[in-house]
Structure 1
Amino acid sequence: MQGLLGKKIGMIRYFDASGAPKVATVIEAGPCFVVQVKTKEKDGYNAVQLGFIEKKPKSVTKPLLGHFQKSNVPPCRILKEFRDFSLEVKPGDQIRVDTIFSPGDVVHVTGRSKGRGFTGVVKRHGFAGGPRTHGQSDRVRAPGSIGASSFPKRVFKGMRMAGRMGNEQKTIRNLKVLEVIPERNLLLVHGGVPGARNSIVEIRK
C-alpha cells in the first residue's frame, strides 16, 4: 500500500484526449515528509508516518519539535500513519505526487464530509413529509409516527430521526487518476471526494 496526504482544491470539468467531458476533483497532493518509519520488530507493526503542510517552529510543542528534528524535517501541521507502506523510504525523505501516482491509477480517497448541523428527517434521510393539503399546516416536514403506544411501548433502536448530519469520515473507492501535474503538486481524479474546499484528504492506492 502507498499513499499521500493532500488538500482538496475544488472541482472542475476535465476534457480527456477524445474531448469527452468528465467531472474531476483537483487535489494538492504532497509533498509529504517522512517523519518516522515504524517496524514490526521495534513498534509491533510496519508503518510510515508522513507530515504535510509546514508549520512555524514556535507553534510546535518542544517534545513534538524534537520528534521532527530527529528526522531532520520541518515541523508539519498534519501527521498521519500509513500502514504496510510498500515504498522504500527513510526518515527525512520527501515524497512527491509523481513518485507514487500516475495517470490511470485507481485510488481510494478518505476525507471528512461537510458538517450540516442538526437536520430534520427530510434532509437527513430523504423522507417525503406529510401531505401539503387537507388542513395540515405544521406537519409538512414531520417524521410521522415513531412507534405505537400499546405495543411495542418503546422506540426501536436505529429509528431514523432528526439529528446531526455530516462531519463523518468517508472513503470514496476506486477513483481513476486522470492527470498528474508534478510541478504544481496537483492530482486530478475522476469524480467527487468527501469534504469542503481546503480540507485534508488521504489518497491511497
Structure 2
Amino acid sequence: MSGIIGKKIGMTSVFGPDGRNIACTVLETGPCVVTQIKNVDTDGYNAIQLGFGEKKEKRTSGAAKGHFAKAGTTPKHKTVEFRDFRVDFEGGVTLGREIKVEEVFVEGDFVDAIGTSKGKGFQGVVKRHGFGGVGGQTHGQHNRQRHPGSIGACSFPSRVFKGMRMAGRTGGDRVKMVNLRVIKLMPEHNLVLVSGSVPGAKNSYVVLEK
C-alpha cells in the first residue's frame, strides 16, 4: 500500500475536461522523508515509516531525536507507517530518502484520505444525529423544540437500550474518505488537488493512501 502524508490547505474548484466545475481540496503533500524501514526478517512484515512537518528539537524527546538522527533527518511532527510500500519501489527506498507526491500518485488515481474530523464538543441530538425535534410550539410544547423525545419503554424493559442515539461528544474522530480522484498534481509546489471534501480543519494532517 503506497501513500504519503499531507497537510490540508483549503478548498477550491477547477474545471474538468468536460467543462464541469469540480469542488476540490488542496493538500500540501511532502516531500516526506523515510525515517524507518521494516522487513520480514527483523519485524515480521515489510513497511516504511514516513515523516512530514518540521518539529522543534526542544519539543522532541531524546528517543525520538535518536530515531530521526539514524535516518539523517530533522525531527518530524507527523510519522505514518505504510505496509508493503517498498514493493512498489522495488527496493529503491533508503533511509533519509525524500518521497515526493509525483512518485506515488498520477492524475486520475483514486485515493483514500484519512484525517481527524473537526471537534464540535458536547452536542444535542439535532446537531449530532439530525433529529427534527419534538415539534412546534403548539399544544403546550414551549420548551421541547430540540429535545430527543421518548427514549425508552415504561415498566418493561425499564431501561434504555445500549447504542441509543442521544446527546454526546461530536467530532474529533478518525474519518476515512474513500475513492477521491486526484484531479491535479502541482509537483513544483508539492500540492495535490483531490475531488470532494477531506476530513479535518485547515492545516491539519491528512494521510493519502493508494
Q: Please confirm whether the aligned pair reaches a TM-score higher than 0.5, indicating the same fold.
A: yes
Percentage of matched positions with identical amino acids: 54
Q: 3-state DSSP class of the match of 2:49?
A: strand
Match of 1:152 among 145, 154, 157: 157
Q: Which residue of 2 aligns with 1:99?
A: 103
The one-character-per-residue Cα deviations of 1:42-67 (angstroms, maximum 9, x if unpaired) are: 01222111100122333322221111
Q: Which residue of 2 aligns with 1:69?
A: 69
The question of 1:113 aligning with 2:117 is answered yes
Which AA in structure 1 matches 2:144? Answer: R
Q: 3-state DSSP class of the match of 1:135?
A: coil
Query: Under a length normalisation based on structure 2, what TM-score does the superposition of the two structures give?
Result: 0.94
Which AA in structure 2 matches 1:56? Answer: K
- What is the number of equivalent residue pairs in this alignment? 205
The question of 1:201 aligning with 2:206 is answered yes
Q: 3-state DSSP class of the match of 2:203?
A: coil
Cα displacement (A) at 1:130 = 1.3
Distance between the aligned counterparts of 1:170 and 1:30, measured in 2? 21
The one-character-per-residue Cα deviations of 1:100-149 (angstroms, maximum 9, x if unpaired) are: 11110110000001111101011111111112122211111110111122
Which AA in structure 2 matches 1:146? Answer: I
Q: Which residue of 2 aligns with 1:188?
A: 193
Which AA in structure 2 matches 1:9? Answer: I
Consecutive unaligned residues of structure 2, counting only runs of 5 or more, are: none
Which AA in structure 2 matches 1:129? Answer: G
Cα displacement (A) at 1:196 = 0.7
The one-character-per-residue Cα deviations of 1:72-121 (angstroms, maximum 9, x if unpaired) are: 11211111111121333111100011111111011000000111110101
Distance between the aligned counterparts of 2:47 and 2:179, measured in 1? 23
Q: 3-state DSSP class of the match of 1:128?
A: coil
Cα displacement (A) at 1:158 = 0.7
Q: 3-state DSSP class of the match of 2:176?
A: strand
CA-based RMSD? 1.1
The one-character-per-residue Cα deviations of 1:131-187 (angstroms, maximum 9, x if unpaired) are: 212221111111011112201111111111000111100100011000000010000
Q: Which residue of 1 aligns with 2:51?
A: 51
Match of 2:141 among 118, 132, 136: 136
Query: Under a length normalisation based on structure 1, what TM-score does the superposition of the two structures give?
Result: 0.96
Q: 3-state DSSP class of the match of 2:33?
A: strand
Distance between the aligned counterparts of 2:185 and 2:177, measured in 1? 19
Distance between the aligned counterparts of 2:146 and 2:18, measured in 1? 46
Q: Which moved more, 1:52-61 or 1:113-122?
A: 52-61
Q: 3-state DSSP class of the match of 1:49?
A: strand
Distance between the aligned counterparts of 2:61 and 2:120, measured in 1? 33
Q: 3-state DSSP class of the match of 2:182?
A: strand
Which AA in structure 2 matches 1:108? Answer: D
Q: 3-state DSSP class of the match of 1:195?
A: coil
